Each structure stands twice: as structure tokens, then as C-alpha cells.
Amino acid sequence: MRKPAIPQMERKPAGATSRRDFLAAGALGGLGAALPVHPALCEEKTPIPRGKAEHVIMLWLGGGASQIDTWDPKRRGDPKKKTAGSAYDSIPTAIDGAGVCEHLHRSAPLLDRAVLLRSVHHEVIDEHAAAVNRMHTGRPTCGTVVYPSIGSVVAHKLGKPAEAIPPYVLMGYPNLTRGPGFLGAKHGFIYLTDTETGPAGLQRNPSISALRQGRREALLGRLRKSYLERRRGDTAVRDYSDAGVAGLRLAGPEFMGAFALDKEPAGLRESYGSEFGQRCLLARRLVERGVRFIEVAHNLNFINGTGWDTHNEGQRNQHILIRELDKAFSTLVTDLEKRSMLEKTLILISTEFGRPPGFDGRGGRGHQSKTFSLVLAGGGLKSGQVVGQSDELGQKILSEPVSIPDLFATVYNAVGIDPAGDLYAANRPVPLTDQGKPLGKLFT
């Protein structure tokens, strides 16, 4: 297993050969000299076509959404009798033979634009923080290196859409898991708490005139330049400085205009629904302006007391969360489609793990990570299909297991990023995924 990389980011010099390239070439060269040539060994597998999506919207169901109560329903259970099974009835969908929970009735007829991943798995069970990290970075936690989040990697690889538009926006929880890791501050997120006005830190105080603001920025610019000249080798300080300059550019109307949700038709805003839905509407408006990656969290208000972490009484009002998700997701899909943006926008519905089919002492569910479900929609994928099959209670994977590295490789491939590529920390290569392979059937 590769040793963790040093947490300092630099791009690989053009034409440079990494240590891994050198070793791989040497190993292959040695094999070539030692072994006879066999035609079958010389045949190359057909490469998986690179996707052409330009944006990712990740809907994050924090807490661990139950796969058998949403995207992979099983026989009906009974919490009072402690009979294992789904909490709700199943309804048919646009994917032949694939049902979903009855509370997803708006999304069900639209799933020909989506892919149901019913065999996602990892080994983190009882630790939410570690599982959240796994689902945001694609890797286990490591004490010697902080890996970048999927949002930061997409932002880094695809780049800024424009000087006044950020590549990565977070409407969730601003912790290390969502951050840029060794990529540095300039590949971090813009954090939003208010969908109506935008980031408070980017707005000029009404008591400060534009002229006065300009003088302040000019003074700050001179101080920043002087400081950086004295500390030319301090990349951390330079990254922080660059992030500050970028923040000032974002204060203009090009980005801040995205938050004028009142300009949208009242009927459309109503279709999106609750605060979570309004954030999904904002995500669409941000995509229109070019933002590369947007995370929208759906456990903001803990409607059922626990969000998607449905232990004990949390299970009782889980249907409210599912209905909110259904309303927002279905409207987002149709809204993007009407604007000819769905093929260019990959929607990922993700969570840290699933839930077991049994019920605890007060009718809730525990944690399960060996089998759970996610959804991909749009993004130019070969949609209208199911990947993977779980057993009769959604506890074990029967076919097509999808690892977290495979999931990440699939997302990267969808947006045109080579999943077999590297990031670079000080000149040392860090594989983009932990040996993940994109799901070929979604691209060919």
C-alpha cells in the first residue's frame, strides 16, 4: 500500500517523470525482457469513454439514509412486532422491474434519467465522522496527510469557470472533510448559510461607501504584496492570500446575483419545496453561472429530531425527510432538463452509510455500511438502469459491488477527469482514487 503523501501541493512539472512512472516503466521493461511475447497479453481493453458533464450537484443525506426505506425497498416490516423489513410500501418506477419507496412518487417516473446504485459498500459502521470522511474523500482517515474532498478535486481539476465565480460551493457543514486538504486553500469552498442574500462576508457594510471600500482594498493590496515578497517560500500564506483576493472578486453581481431567488416564478419555488428545496434551486442557479461542484445538505433542520440517523424515535417521521427529498430532487431534475442542463450536470444523492432491516428497541434502525444505496442522475450517463443487487432484506450484496473508490472514479470520469490520474503533493504522486475503476456500463 502506498505511503501517504507529504501534505504540500505542487503541480507535476510539464514532461516530468514521477517516481511511480519510472518504477512502473522499469518493472514492465524487465518483464518484457524476461517473458515471451503473448498476443493476448498485448491486447488492450477498450477504454471507457470520458464523460462530458461540467458540473456536480451532491445532495447529502447526513446521518445515514436507509436504503430499504428509499431506493431499494424490500418486503414490509413491522417495528412493533420487530419484524425486519421496509417501513413503507414499494411503487414502480420508470426503470423496468425497479421499485422505490412510496414517498418517492414524484421521482419514480423520472428515474429513466437516473442510475440506482444498490450495492455501495465500505467497512466504517459506528463512526459517523469517519464514514462522512470516507464518502467525501474516498479514503480512510490518515494521521499524516489530509486528503482533499471530492468537491475540491473537481474544482482543482476543472478550474474556475470565471474570475468572479467560485468553482466549489458548500451548503452544508464547513468541516475538514469537505475541505481541500493538501491541495491548499485556493481549492476550498465558499460556505453558504443564507440562500437569499449569499455569503455575509462578501457583502460591504452599508455604512462603508464604495469609494472607501476601494481605498481599503488598495491598502490591503499593498500590505499583502509587501508581506508576500518577504516570505516568497511560504506557500500556505500565498494560498491564503490568493483566497482573500478571490473573495473580493466574488462580491460582484455576477456571483451575488445568483441569490435573488425571488426572481424565479412562484410556482417553481413552490415545486422545490422547503428550505432544502430552495437550496436545490439555488444550486441550479449557481450551475447556470458555472460553479463546478455544489454540495447541498439535507439534514439542516432535523425535522424528525435526528435527520437521516433514524435511531429510536427518529424513524417515526423519516417519511417527512423522504418527501422533502422527493420534491426537491424531482423538481431539480425537470428544471435542469427544461433548461438543457441535465446532460451537463451530474446529480449525486449520497450519504455516509445505510441502515439494517431490523428495528431497535424503540422502533428505529442502527447503522449498516456493507450494503447501501446511492443515486446518480443526469451527467450524460447511460441512465435508466440499476447497478447491483442486494439480498431479500438489503443486508448483503448479491451482484456488482460498488466500492467507494469505484464511485469516485465514476464521478470523476463523468466530468471528464481521468480517474487513473494523480494529484501531486510536493512532487510526489497521490493517486486520484484508491485504485477505483469507473462503472463502465454507465458510459458505454
8, 20, 400 from 427: Cα distances, Å = 9, 11, 36
DSSP string, 378-394: ETT---SEEE-EE-TTS
Determine which helix (DSSP H) or strand (DSSP E) holds 121, and give its type and residue range: strand 114-121
The three-point CA angle 184-186-189 to 5° equals: 100
Q: How far apart are the first and last CA of the chain?
A: 31
Segment 112-142, tens digit of pLDDT: 999 999 999 999 988 999 999 999 999 998 7
Lowest mean pLDDT among 28-32, 54-58, 225-229: 28-32
Residues 6+ apart with CB under 8 A from 136: 149, 150, 151, 177, 178
Segment 334-379, tens digit of pLDDT: 999 999 999 999 999 999 999 999 999 889 999 999 999 999 999 9
Which amino acid is present at 78? D
Segment 149-179, tens digit of pLDDT: 999 999 999 998 888 899 999 998 888 899 9
Nearest to 90 by CA among 106, 101, 105, 98: 101
- 147-163: buried (b, 16+ CB within 10 Å) or exposed (e) per residue? bbbbbbbbbbbbebbee
Segment 35-51 shows an average pLDDT of 63
| CATH class, range 54-203+251-442 | alpha beta
Cβ neighbours of 401 (radius 10 Å):
14
Model-level pTM greater than 0.75? yes
Segment 65-98, tens digit of pLDDT: 999 999 999 999 999 999 999 999 999 999 999 9
Residues 6+ apart with CB under 8 A from 284: 57, 332, 335, 336, 339, 341
Instruction: Provide the pLDDT for residue 256.
Output: 84
